[in-house]
Amino acid sequence: MAQPPSVYEWIGGSAAVGRWLDCFYDAVERDDLLAPMFGGKVTREHRDGVTAWWSEVLGGPATYTAEHGGYPHMMSKHLGLNISAGQRLRFVTLLSQAADAADLPNDPEARSALMAYAEWGTRIAVENSAPGATPVAEAPVPRWGWGEAPPYDPS
Ligand code: HEM
C-alpha cells in the first residue's frame, strides 16, 4: 500500500462518522455527568456539526470550515464550559464505547488513530473551557492521520 487511504475513508466516510457520533450522543443524553452540559438533549444540528468537524479532521471534505464557521466557531462553543477532568474522561470513554456500538472497523490502527485525536482534542477542550482561558482566535481545523501505526503493509 504505497499511500494508505485517509482514516476517514478507511472507517467508512461520513455515514460511519455520523453513525458513531449518533451512538455517542445517545449515550451522552443518558449520562449523569455529561447530559446537563447539553441541556439533556443533543440536537440533530449539533450532531451534524460535530460529524462535519470529525470528518474534516480525519481527512474528509472541509465542510466544517466552509459551512459551519471553522475552528473559531468550534472553539467559541467550548468557552466557559469549565469541563472537569471527570467529564473529559467520561467523554473519551463514551466515544470509545460508541465506536464498538456503531460497529466501526475495529482494527487497532484505525481505533488508535480515532482515540489519539479524541484524547488530544478533549484535553484542548478542557484548557479552552477553563475560566479566564484565552485560546488562539484563529487556526485551521486540524488534520489527523495514522500516526506511528498506519495499516500494515507486508510488502
Ligand atoms: C475531541 C474533542 C471534542 C470535539 C472534536 C468537539 C467538537 C465540538 C464541535 C465541533 C462543537 C460545535 C458544534 C457546532 O458547530 O454546532 C462542539 C460544541 C460543544 N461541545 Fe465539544 N468537542 C470536543 C470535546 C468536548 C468535551 C470534552 C465536552 C464536554 C465534556 C464538550 C462539550 C460541548 C458542548 C456543551 C458544546 C456546545 C453545544 C451547544 O451548541 O450548545 N466538547 N464540540
Tell me the pLDDT tens digit for each residue of 95-117: 999 999 999 999 999 999 999 99
pLDDT tens profile 23-62: 999 999 999 999 999 999 999 999 999 999 999 999 999 9
Mean pLDDT value across residues 55-79: 98
Ligand 1 center–CA 77 separation, angstroms: 6
- Residue 120 CA: nearest ligand 1 atom is 1
Mean pLDDT value across residues 85-93: 98
Ligand 1 pocket, Cβ-based, cut-off 6 angstroms: 34, 37-38, 46, 49-50, 53, 68, 73-74, 77-78, 81, 83, 87-88, 91, 118, 121-122, 125
CB 57 within 8 A of CB 117: yes
Choose between 155 and 96: higher pLDDT.
96
* Residue 55 confidence (pLDDT): 98
- ipTM score for this prediction: 0.96
Ligand 1 center–CA 78 separation, angstroms: 6
* Residue 42 confidence (pLDDT): 98
Round to whole Å and give the CA distance between 133 and 113. 28
Q: Is the per-residue pLDDT at 22 higher than 70?
A: yes
Non-local CB neighbours of 55 within 8 Å, separated by 6+ positions = 8, 13, 14, 17, 61, 63, 64
Round to whole Å and give the CA distance between 13 and 5. 11
CB 137 within 8 A of CB 72: yes
Mutate to test the pocket of ligand 1, among 64, 74, 96, 115 (most ligand atoms within 8 A of CB): 74
| Multiple choice CATH, 8-129, 1.10.490.10, 2.40.420.20, 1.10.940.10, 1.20.1560.10 | 1.10.490.10
* Residue 155 confidence (pLDDT): 81
pLDDT tens profile 138-150: 999 999 999 999 9
* Residue 153 confidence (pLDDT): 85
Give the mean pLDDT of the chain. 97
